[in-house]
Amino acid sequence: MTDHLDALRDALPRLGEGVLVTLQLTLGGALVAFVVSVALGLLSISPVAPLRWLATIVVEFFRGTSLVVQLFWLYYVMPLFGVSWDAVLTGVIALGLNYGAYGAEIVRGSINAVDRGQWEGAKALNMSPLTRMRRIIWPQAWVLMLSGYNNLLVMLIKGTAVALFIGLQDLAYEIDQLRINTTTIFAYGIGLIIYYLFALVFSSGLRQLEKRARRRLGLPTRSAHAGAGVAL
């Protein structure tokens, strides 16, 4: 055990670098996923049929294909067509597109879950579609979205581990390097703890954001998943 602790202490700088790369992938991927999910979610409820079809095709494509294959396409195949990015940006875009497609269903479902009376009341007040969405529908749907986004963010954090397939020295990569100098159980046990703490911090942040959103609408702040642990 002493040898393992010594190896862990020596590996801390590299683990710190791996955590930083994972953090970049998480924050960047989450930002891209949010933008993609909102865009596709709104298109999926558009009154213009071709826009709904386009959103459905994009969502089903990214949900129906492997994240690893998407990552390989962006990193190894797209350069053949003259489009190339560095490894971190490629990982961010792949994560954002993949999880953004799942997030689009969260957006669509949350907006459709807003009571129809709210839609009809906003129409009765002669609000434009944009004003109706911005002032009436979106704030209520946002509260519903945050719970789904919380789960999606935890999944995205775990999904960052695929970045090692394109040579990124992220947390998963550094944990594997630690295994070489210690044992499988010790190294991956450390990895489990770090990923869990990672997910716990981000999940707690989104729960606080959800409570704040609920307070603004005058709703009870104790959500249905309060006190629930982070699923890894």
* pLDDT 10s digits, 61-117: 999 999 999 999 999 999 999 998 999 999 999 999 999 999 999 999 999 998 888
- Measure the CA angle with vertex 20, ends 14 and 26; round to 5°: 140
pLDDT of residue 41: 95
Of 23, 5, 17, 40, residue with least CA distance to 92: 23
CB 24 within 8 A of CB 194: no
Query: What homologous superfamily is domain 2-216 in, according to CATH?
Result: MetI-like (1.10.3720.10)
- Does an H or E element contain 84, and which? none
Q: Which tokens is 27 given?
A: 């924050």
* pLDDT 10s digits, 158-188: 999 998 888 888 888 888 888 888 888 988 9
Residue 211 pLDDT > 60: yes
pLDDT of residue 137: 87
pLDDT of residue 222: 59
Domain residue extents for the chain: 2-216
Provide the pLDDT confidence category of residue 1 given band limits of 50, 70 and 90. low
Q: What is the dihedral angle through the alpha carbons of 26, 162, 170, 182, rounded to the nearest 10 degrees? A: 130
60, with CB counted inside 10 A (0-12, 13-18, 19+), is exposed
Q: b/e for 27-40, b at 16 or more Cβ within 10 A? A: ebbbebbbebbbeb
What gap in Å lies between CA 86 and CA 94, rounded to an integer? Answer: 12
Instruction: Enter the pTM of the model.
Output: 0.87
CA 218 vs. chain centroid, Å, equals 27
Of 86, 102, 105, 106, residue with least CA distance to 25: 86
pLDDT of residue 220: 78
Classify 145 as helix, strand or coil.
helix
